[in-house]
Amino acid sequence: MSARAVKRVAVVGSGVGGLACAARLAHRGYAVDVYEKLSRCGGRAHVIEDQGYCFDTGPSFVLMPDFYAEVYRDCGQEMAQRLPLLRLDTHYAVFYPDGRQVRVFHDEERTAEELERREPGAARRYRDFLRDTGAMYQAVKPLMYRQFTPAALADVRNLRLLPALQVGATCWQLAGRYFRSEALRCLMTFESMFIGVSPFSAPAFYSVICYADHAQKLFHPRGGMYRIPASLEAIGREKGCRYHYDCEISGIRRESNGGFLLKQATNEYTADAVVVNADLPYARQHLLQRRIAPYRYSCSVMLFYWGVRRPLAGLEHHNIFFAADVCANMRRIFEDSRWPEDPSFYVHVPTKTDPSLAPPGKEIVYVLVPVPNLRQAGADPHAAVEKVRQLVLEKLRQVCGVEVEQSIDVEHRFYPRDFITRYNALYAATFGLSHSLFQSAFFRPANTDPKLDGLYYVGCSTQPGTGIPPVLAGSKIAADLISARGG
C-alpha cells in the first residue's frame, strides 16, 4: 500500500484516543469516518444520566493537562474555550485502617507538612522524591510522542535513558528509598492502581504519574469528565468527521486495490487507512482473525455509582481507602486471581467541586474496587459483590458519620464482565495490557500493525500506554504516521 495515497480514514471505536485521532486528521484535511458499536461516543469514558445525576463512568480526573492542551492546539483550538478546567485545592484524602488520614493539597508545602506529621523527616525526602521523579518525567515525556520497537533499544541515545528510568526497580522499591513507613510508600505508589498494576511489580518509571499528581496538580473539567470526549467529537464534527453510532465493525480486511474493507452486520465500508481504537488484543483476535501473543493483562474493577440525597461530610473530591494489609490485598488480586476480602478502594465525589452533576443538595459517589481480571478468575463472583459493597458502606459510615445506604436515591453497578460485553475488553482487563516491564515502552505493541501497512492502533493496549494522557499522545503518533504517507 506504500504507493496508495491516503485520503479517507476509518476510525474503529470512539474512545478518547479514536476521537482525538479523528479530530487531528480531519483538521489536516482527511475525510474521516468514525464507527462505534455504542449509541454515543466516549468508550470507557462514558456517562450515565439518571434522575438528575450525571455519573462519569470511566476516568475521573485530569492529570498532565499539557497533553490535553496539545490536542486542542493541534486541531487549531484553545483548550480553555473547549474544556475549561477547575483546579482542586485538595487533591485527595487518604484513609488508613488505623483511623488516621493524610491529605494531599495543591500547595506542596501543605502536603509536606502533612507527610511530616506522619513520618518525621518525610517533608525533606518528599521534596527529594519530587525532584528525582521530575527528572524521570522529563526523560519519559518525549518518548510518549514517538513510536518505538525493540530494535530501537540498540540506539545509543535510547540506551542513555535507561539509568534515568530506573529500569530494574519497581514503584514500591523507588518509594522505599525516600519513605520509611509503609503508609507513605502506599501513598506514593497507589497511582499504579489507575493503570491496573500492582506497585510491587510496576516499573519505577511509572512513578512519573505520582510526580505529575503532586507537581503538575489535579483538575476537573467543568461539567464532568464526559466533557472530554464530547468536546473532541464536537471538534471533529466541525472539521467534517462523520460519526456512525450503533455500528459495530465485525471484521477488517485488505482489498486487492490496496485499501481496506470494514464489515458490519448489514453494510460494508471502505477506507485508504484504518485507525483501530478498539482494544488491541480484541481487534487482532476478532477483527483480524489472528492468534494473539501470550500477553499479560491488567486487573479488572468493580464499580458502584450512587446518587445520594444528602451531602457527605468528611470526604474530598478524590478519596483512597487502604486495606489493613495492602501487600496481601495486592497478592490476592494480581497473583492469586481471587476477589479481595478486605480491599483497598477509591471513592470519587465530583459534586464536591462541581455541584451541577447532581440535583441541588445531593451528591454523586463513584466507588472503584480493583479485582482480578477474568482470565484466571473465571466468572464474576456475584456472591462477593454484596460483601464488598457492605464493607465500602461501613467505611464510608465511619468517615461521614451517616448511614450512606439509607440516603441512596439511585444505584448502578458495573461488573467486570460488563467490560467484555460493553467495551470488548478481553478478559475484562479494564486497563488493557498490563504495564509490566516487557509490555512497556519499547516492548509494548506498536501503533503500526506488523502485517498490514496502513493499519494503526490507538488506545490503552498500544504505545505509549494506559490513561488519557498516553492515549492522547498515541493519537498524535498515529495521526503523524498517516500524515507522513501523504494524501
- Residue 97's pLDDT is 93
Distances in whole angstroms, Cα of residue 327 to Cα of each of 94, 338, 485: 17, 14, 49
Note down the domain range covering 457: 8-85+223-295+432-484
Question: Which residue type does 375 have?
Answer: R
Within a domain: 207: no
Question: Which residue type does 189 have?
Answer: T
- Residue 161's pLDDT is 66
- Residue 162's pLDDT is 63
What is the pairing mode between strands 53-56 and 318-321?
unpaired
Within a domain: 262: yes
- Residue 77's pLDDT is 97
- Residue 1's pLDDT is 41
Within a domain: 287: yes
Q: Work out the angle at residue 209's Cα, subtended by the Cα atoms of residues 203 and 210, and round it to the nearest 5 degrees.
A: 100
Within a domain: 263: yes
Within a domain: 338: no
Q: What is the reported pTM?
A: 0.95
- Number of structural domains found in the chain: 1
Within a domain: 40: yes
pLDDT, tens digit only, all 487 positions of the chain? 444 678 999 999 999 999 999 999 999 999 999 999 999 999 999 999 999 999 999 999 999 999 999 999 999 999 999 999 999 999 999 999 999 999 999 999 999 999 999 999 999 999 999 999 999 998 888 888 989 876 776 676 666 666 667 778 999 999 999 999 999 999 999 999 888 899 999 999 999 999 999 999 999 999 999 999 999 999 999 999 999 999 999 999 999 988 999 999 999 999 999 999 999 999 999 999 999 999 999 999 999 999 999 999 999 999 999 999 999 999 999 988 888 889 999 999 999 999 999 999 999 999 999 999 998 766 667 778 999 999 999 999 999 998 999 999 999 999 999 999 999 999 999 999 999 988 988 889 999 999 999 999 999 999 999 999 999 999 999 999 999 987 5
Within a domain: 473: yes
Within a domain: 300: no
By CB atoms closer than 10 A (0-12, 13-18, 19+), residue 183 is buried
CATH number at residue 476: 3.50.50.60
Q: What is the DSSP string of 204-240?
A: GGGGHHHHIIIII--EEETT-TTHHHHHHHHHHHHTT
DSSP element (H, E) containing 105: strand 101-105
